[in-house]
A and B are shown apart, each in its own frame.
Chain A
Amino acid sequence: MKRRMFVKQLALSAAIAAIGFGSTSLYAQQKTVKIGILHSLSGTMAISETVLKDVVLMAVDEINAKGGVMGAKIEPVVVDPASNWPLFAEKARQLLTQDKVAVVFGCWTSVSRKSVLPVFEELNGMLFYPVQYEGEEISKNVFYTGAAPNQQAIPAVEYLMSKEGGNAKRWVLLGTDYVYPRTTNKILRAFLKSKGVADGDIMEDYTPFGHSDYQTIIAKIKKFASEGKKTAVVSTINGDSNVPFYKELGNQGVKATDVPSVAFSVGEEELRGVDTKPLVGHLAAWNYFMSIKNAENDAWKKKWADYTKAKKLPYASKPLTNDPMEAAYIGVYMWKQAVEKAKSFDVDKVRVATYGQTFKAPSGITSKMDEKNHHLHKAVFIGEVKADGQFNVVWKTKGPIKAVPWSPFIAGNDKKKDEPALMAEKKK
């Protein structure tokens, strides 16, 4: 027993020493390079995050088939943080210190990103975050390939306010109780106020993660909607709560033509478990829809369908693609291109090389990583749910929009810089 303890301690101290001495040039000489995949494969977020793991693996397979990155084969390290936020931080630390990955692709909820952020900043790691979020953050260690509020939430609300969208005058802001919905709704409330919507015409409500009983909330929405003027629901509900929410919406007969609801975290994958016939016309705002027609998207969808079949994934019978999958896929290629430009796996060099990288995205635009603010330029699409669970694009922006992570609708943001504060330089 004692001897084993000693051996363990020895191994541990060796590992710690390795961190200290391990120089980044070591990576370049190796034939393989490790990357981390940090997505929940179980728990309430598994419904959304499992496919992201698979799409990153698909991109890795593609790159490896073409000879890898700078001659090095990519070796993915998949971990399951199980929808448990502190576990995200632990697993991130494990990936960076034990597995010594060059980059991590992961996280969905903002609370998980917030929980790993200190780890990445402390250990100078690199994270590609593929999901739309509330903004209010630019870290030099994170590249955000999902949308900021001005690339999703604000255009969606503007659409519902327009004549085309139904002239909505009253708003229900409904979300899961954590940082993303709270912040997004704060921004939306300020935005709505700037458009002349009174406080009495906004109803804000939150439910816990994994909430499954939406009876009273839907009844509340119905009551609110009948108190005058056209009402729209803005849903920032995350994870598998969406299934009971939409089931209840259908069962209680809330039709999109009367009270449309627009969701920011519901895509093709989340609707897989729902009977979509009663939901026709409810909306989602994203930067990609599976139903978008162009050559890139067709090719990408085919790749994904083939991949799910080859790997015998559970969704092979009905392969779906969605926005965060697209963002995750773009992320992997952005990193690859940046590594090749930097000719190094060193985080600081790759970071600089990532600025201004472009990629021909399945959404039909050429996505560009901003030169400064770590966010992608994205086009915005608004889709209505069809009876088959796909989306009809009813509105889109003319071209890519630059992300504004510090929303002008939050006080004090006008003074913040549109680029990460370089902590490394402060230290030196």
Chain B
Amino acid sequence: MAGEAPAIDKAAVEKLAFGDAEEKTAAIAALVAEADPRAAALLEALSEGEMQVAGKRVLIVKGEDATDAVSGEKVAPLPAEREDVVANNRLRREIEGALAAFKLLSPDGAVRLAAAKALAGGAEASMLPLVRKALEKETDPDIKPLLELTASSMEMKSGDKEARLAAIRRLGESNSPNSRTLLAEAVSDSDADIRIAAQKSLLEVQGKLAWGERAGLLFAGVSLGSILLLAALGLAITYGLMGVINMAHGELIMIGAYTTYVVQVFFRKTNFFDWYLLVAVPASFIVAAAVGMVLERVVIRWLYGRPLETLLATWGISLMLIQAVRTIFGAANVQVENPAFMSGGIQAFAGVVLPWSRIYIIVFAALVLFSIFLILTKTRLGLFVRGVTQNRDMASCVGVPTGRVDMWAFGLGSGIAGLAGCALSQIGNVGPDLGQGYIVDSFMVVVFGGVGQLAGTVYAALTLGFANKFLEAVSGAVIAKIVVLVFIIFFIQRRPQGLFALKGRAVEA
């Protein structure tokens, strides 16, 4: 097939490969004008960095296969001396626009929609006739408004005043950040009428965009809250319910993250890489829970009721765990790759993209919270844990094996820390020091929420998440952290029992 088709414009291809920036831009325009699908393939190859030159010849190299860019013939063997044709951002932008314009005439609706979206991001004025042509034919209700918007944004740059005023009005009805950019430029136009119209439209667009921004901020708050919640939930059980000041909590999170890493390494060798989390989630729970139970049996159970010693002992354990991981996996961070479904994001509002990874973590946090709630309120273990927490001696009297309940409860708390580690590995770095970044936050959440209270932990995590994100938007990340810390110090001064105090006749040990 390729052999029969007439060769594409040789001069243009050579300019594309050997010319300077101006010549390359001109060559792209020339190739697009041909409306040849092979020209499109050629441009795509250039933007993907697959175009190479060998002497005077221009090649498209994909892996080990090479074809001649002009004739379309196979080139074998590969010439040894090859050089990449470098496409920089400017060139890639030109190509993107050119290709999108190309695809606007495609019979496939999905291709046209993608192209229209790409063009809405900013198109060269030279493409206006092409967009108009596509607009005439377009009937799809999803694509048409996008194209109209694109046409308007192009007309903004044209010289005709009436056309520009109409375009400004139409842009005012849209809610894309791109419209704001164009209108903001028009506000300082030399023509008074245009200035006034642009000002009006700009306010409209900004009003719509502001809602999107607020929603985005809200999402960021919930997202940070869910991460804090995951990190703190385990501690809410070990510290909140059992009263163990567990300084090694962060390291249990780290162990969960490393378990995820190990599972991921195994799965990389198989074809089911995208599903590794299905194994990693239970694995991280089990490993962290096992480590936690061993800790409880070997060290912590001898120290109940001696908070200072517990603090020192668990701190020592945390250092040992960090060093152990450093010895096994090395001091540098390890790389945990996201499965494909957790990359990218969903466009929720104009200009606001919600990343999938964060959406999944929010859902995951909710699920974990719900399971803990079920375990604590609906199972026998939960009943025992609550019984032992409220009155250890009495529970022991009625036959609750308090020692074993302690072990299981500590294991549960540790396992949840492991789950947090699994989730954190998807958005942050996994290294031996991972836990140290979260131990302070975790204690902050539990103490702020009120010790011995699951509900308090949830409210505290969300409150701190929102507070952090809103302050960050106003004052920057560094100040936000300081302000939150100072606020908590004052809050605990005024109300040492936290947001929610445990009411009733609990016996303090």
Contact = CB atoms under 8 A, between A and B. Distances in A.
Given A42-B326, A229-B185, A213 B224 contact: yes
Nearest to B85: A392
A47 B216 contact: no
Contacts of B387: none
Given A219-B217, A229-B185, A253-B345, A244 B180 contact: no
A42 B432 contact: yes
A43 B96 CA distance: 41
A46 B431 contact: yes
Contact of A210 (B351, B355, B437): B437
B355 A252 contact: yes
Interface residues of A, number: 59
B243 interface: no
Interface in A139-170: 163-166
Contacts of A250: 343-344
Contacts of A244: 427-429
Interface stretch (B279-287, B293-301, B333-341, B404-412): B333-341
Query: Which of B121, B355, B356 has the most chain A CB atoms closer than 10 A to its own CB?
Result: B355
A278 B338 CA distance: 13
Contacts of A386: 49
Interface in A81-132: none
A212 B343 contact: no
B481 A215 contact: no
Interface residues of B, number: 62
Interface in B197-249: 209, 213, 216-217, 219-220, 223-224, 227
A364 to B, nearest CB: 15
A229 B469 contact: no
B220 A215 contact: yes
A273 interface: yes
B21 interface: yes
Contacts of B121: 258
A275 B217 contact: no
B64 to A, nearest CB: 16
Query: Which of A165, A226, A260, A283 has the most chain B CB atoms closer than 10 A to its own CB?
Result: A226
Contact of A219 (B89, B122, B216, B356): B216
Interface string A217-255: 101101101111100000000001001100110111100
A257 interface: yes
Given A42-B432, A256-B89, A386-B49, A219 B345 contact: no
Contacts of A278: 343-344
B477 A47 contact: no
B481 A206 contact: no
Contacts of A394: 86, 88
Contacts of B217: 216, 219
A305 to B, nearest CB: 18
Contacts of A213: 220, 223-224, 227, 427
B99 to A, nearest CB: 12
B333 A223 contact: no
Nearest to B188: A228
Contacts of B433: 42-44
Contacts of B213: 219, 223
Interface in B357-393: 357-358
A275 B337 contact: yes
Contact of B469 (A216, A227, A272): A216
A251 B344 contact: yes
B433 to A, nearest CB: 6
B469 A212 contact: no
Interface in B84-120: 84, 86-90, 92-93, 96
Interface in A33-80: 41-44, 46-47, 50, 80
A261 B433 CA distance: 29
Nearest to A293: B83
Given A210-B437, A226-B178, A384-B89, A215 B357 contact: no
Contacts of A80: 331
B8 interface: no
B88 A164 contact: yes
B401 interface: no
B148 interface: no
Contact of B220 (A212, A219, A223, A243): A219
B178 A273 contact: no
A225 B351 CA distance: 11
Interface in B306-339: 326, 330-333, 335, 337-338
Contacts of A177: 478
B246 to A, nearest CB: 22
A251 B343 contact: yes
B472 interface: yes
Contact of B331 (A50, A211, A217, A272): A50
Contacts of B177: 222-223, 225-226
B158 interface: no
A219 B181 CA distance: 16
B353 interface: yes
A6 to B, nearest CB: 30
B427 A212 contact: yes
A207 interface: yes
Given A226-B181, A240-B429, A394-B86, A219 B92 contact: no
B355 to A, nearest CB: 4
Given A42-B432, A226-B177, A216 B89 contact: no
A22 interface: no
Nearest to A252: B353
A196 interface: no
B290 interface: no
Contact of A208 (B224, B355, B431, B477): B477
B184 A392 contact: no
A252 B337 CA distance: 17
B427 A247 contact: yes
Given A42-B331, A207-B477, A227-B181, A393 B429 contact: no
A257 B437 CA distance: 35
A46 B49 contact: no
B79 interface: no
B80 interface: no
Contacts of A393: 86
B216 to A, nearest CB: 5
A206 B476 contact: yes
A281 interface: yes
B95 to A, nearest CB: 9
Given A50-B331, A227-B180, A244-B429, A208 B476 contact: no
A393 B431 CA distance: 32
Given A251-B357, A392-B88, A222 B345 contact: no
A46 B355 contact: no
Contacts of B326: 42
A273 B181 CA distance: 34
Nearest to B184: A228
A418 interface: no
Nearest to B95: A257
A217 B356 CA distance: 18
Given A212-B428, A216-B477, A251-B356, 10 more contacts: A41-B331, A42-B326, A47-B332, A47-B429, A213-B223, A213-B427, A215-B358, A222-B177, A223-B351, A387-B49
27 contacts: A42-B432, A46-B332, A80-B331, A165-B89, A207-B477, A208-B477, A215-B220, A215-B355, A216-B217, A217-B477, A219-B217, A223-B177, A226-B178, A226-B209, A228-B181, A228-B184, A228-B185, A240-B429, A244-B429, A248-B355, A256-B89, A257-B96, A273-B335, A275-B338, A281-B89, A392-B49, A392-B87
Closest 7 CB pairs of A and B: A226-B177, A228-B184, A251-B355, A42-B331, A273-B335, A212-B428, A215-B220
